[in-house]
Amino acid sequence: MGRPPRYDADFLLDCAVQLVVDRGPAAVTVAGVASAAGAPSGSVYHRFSGRTVLLAALWLRTVHRFQVGFFATLTGPEAIDAALAAALHTVTWSRENPTEAQLLLHGPNEFGYADWRAEDREQAARDQHHVAAAMAKLTRRLGLRGAAGRDRVTFAVIDVPLALVGRHVRRSGRVPGGSEDLVATTVRALLS
């Protein structure tokens, strides 16, 4: 049995996350990640064929890590409880993963989305479609209708917690205690 790789993809992506937090997405280069990891550039190229592939992998991994918990919250038997849990997931996940939350606030365009390989852009589109489908299903479960109903649910479940998280994470890098209460009160008011 061979020895495990010293610089695996997750370790290198973790180093890239910290570069984003410290200096922004532009700092994520093969050389920058190699330096942050204390690895030769060849180790980064062995995992990622270039900067664009590295940026796409970083964005997609972070989105996936967030969405695993988000989608799990939507399976609850009561629609209003599922909506509330989904909105609160954004707050708690961002508190527990402050560096990754900061990364997601940049958006995929700052990670070179236009230059991604077709398969990476397709994965990002599938991720977005999955969110839209989940919001449409939750809208129906809540007994709301049409575009106005979807807009209300999306605003309550996605936009409200994202606005709160974004304000605090951009300012201090942390989501303060009590944030869940603010989000819960707003979500209930919007969806009751």
* pLDDT tens sequence across 126-167: 999 999 999 999 999 999 999 999 999 999 999 999 999 999
The answer to whether 47 and 7 have CB atoms below 8 angstroms apart is: yes
Query: Going by C-beta distance under 8 Å and a sequence separation of 6 or more, which residues neighbour residue 19?
Result: 27, 28, 32, 33, 36
- What six digits make up the tokens of 7? 């610089």
pLDDT tens-digit map of 93-137: 999 999 999 999 999 999 999 999 999 999 999 999 999 999 999
Between the alpha carbon of residue 34 and those of residues 9, 10, 96, 113, 167, the distances in Å are 12, 13, 26, 22, 31
Q: Read off the pTM.
A: 0.93
Between the alpha carbon of residue 3 and those of residues 6, 10, 46, 183, the distances in Å are 8, 17, 16, 47
pLDDT at 3: 58
pLDDT tens-digit map of 29-64: 999 999 999 999 999 999 999 999 999 999 999 999
